[in-house]
Amino acid sequence: MASPPHSPMTLVPGMDLDTDDPIIPPSSHTLAKTGYFLEKRADWDLWFDHIKRHASILGVWEYIDPDADTPVPPKLPNIPSDDHPNLKDAVLLYKARLNEFITVRDILNQVYQLITHSIHKHFQEGIYDTKDCRTMLRELREWNQDCDGAVEEDLRDELERLKKGPFPTQSIREWLVDWQKFARQSRRYIGKSYPWTDWAICQDLCEAAKSSNEVFAGCGRDKIDEMDKKEVFSLNDFLKYYVKLYDNTFPYVNLSQESHL
C-alpha cells in the first residue's frame, strides 16, 4: 500500500523536534514593535501578559506555560505499515494525528514569531539556541525576576523623563499614553518600595503639564481635588479622565510648546 500523504517535515521554531539542528530566530533588524515590546525589565509584566493572552486565544498556552512541564505539543505520528492488522482505521488515526500535529506546529510557530519579534536584540542573543517557546519564556522570566531592583530603577528613570513633559516631536496624546504605560508597569511597586503614591504621581503629572499649559494642568488639579473629597483615589482612573479630557477638548494642544487657550 502506498504511504499516506503528509506534509514534508522541516524544523519549525517553537517546537522541539528532537534534532540538533539550530533554529535561527528572526533578525533583530526585522523586529516588529507591537506595542508590547520587551526592551527593558520594566516591560516584563505587560509583555508576558500579552504573550499569554495571545497564546490562550490560539489555544496553545498549555504547551508553552513556563509554570508547567506538561502537556507537550503533539509529535509527528508514525506512518502505519502496510501489514497493520487494521490498516484502514490506522490510516484514519494517522491522518487525524498528523492534522493535529501540523495545526499545533503552525500555531506555535506564530507564537514563536510573536515572541522573537517583540523582544530587544539583547534578549534574542540570550535565547539564540532555545528550541521551544516554553523554555524561551522560562529563560526570559528568570532573567527578569533576578532584576527587581533594576526594574525599579528603570521606572524611576521613566518617571523623571515623563515629568519633563513630552518630547519636542511627541503629541500630548502620546505623552499621556506613556503615563498610562508607566502606571501599569509600576503598579506592584507603588506604595511599597516606591516613596510615592497614586496621589503624588498625579500631582507630578499636573505639574509637568503646568509648565506648558496652565488650563490643562488646572483641569487635572480640579480632578485631583474632586477625587480627594470622595476619598477614592486611583492613578488609573485619573489618567483615563485626563486622556478623555484631551480627546474631547484639547486635540490640537501641543504641551511641548507654550499654549494660550
Which residues pair with residue 38 across a beta bridge? 119
Q: Same structural domain for residues 113 and 206?
A: no
Dihedral, CA of residue 209, residue 211, residue 216 and residue 218, to nearest 10: 100
Q: What pLDDT tens digit does each residue of the chain (261 aa) get?
A: 444 443 333 333 344 333 333 333 333 333 344 458 887 777 888 899 999 999 999 999 999 999 999 999 999 999 999 998 999 999 999 999 999 999 999 999 999 999 988 987 767 766 767 778 999 999 888 777 766 667 777 888 888 899 988 888 888 888 888 998 888 777 766 655 445 678 888 888 888 888 767 888 888 888 888 887 776 677 888 888 888 888 887 755 444 443 333
pLDDT of residue 189: 67
Nearest alpha-carbon partner for 218 in 261, 256, 175, 248: 261
Q: Same structural domain for residues 180 and 222?
A: yes
Domains of the chain: total: 2
Residue 194: strand, helix, or coil = strand
| Residue that is last in its domain, among 145, 177, 211 | 145
Q: Same structural domain for residues 121 and 39?
A: yes
- On whether the pTM is more than 0.75, the answer is no
Evaluate whether residue 94 is within a structural domain.
yes
pLDDT of residue 191: 58
Burial of 155 (0-12, 13-18, 19+ CB in 10 A): buried
Residue 14: strand, helix, or coil = strand
DSSP 18: S
Evaluate whether residue 20 is within a structural domain.
no
Q: Same structural domain for residues 220 and 206?
A: yes
Q: Same structural domain for residues 116 and 170?
A: no
> Nine-digit cell at 237?
482612573
Q: Same structural domain for residues 164 and 81?
A: no
Which range of residues forms the domain containing residue 45?
33-145
| Residue that is last in its domain, among 128, 145, 162 | 145
Q: Same structural domain for residues 132 and 93?
A: yes
Evaluate whether residue 17 is within a structural domain.
no
In angstroms, the CA 153 to CA 145 distance is 14
Q: Same structural domain for residues 130 and 179?
A: no
Q: Same structural domain for residues 135 and 158?
A: no
Q: Same structural domain for residues 89 and 122?
A: yes
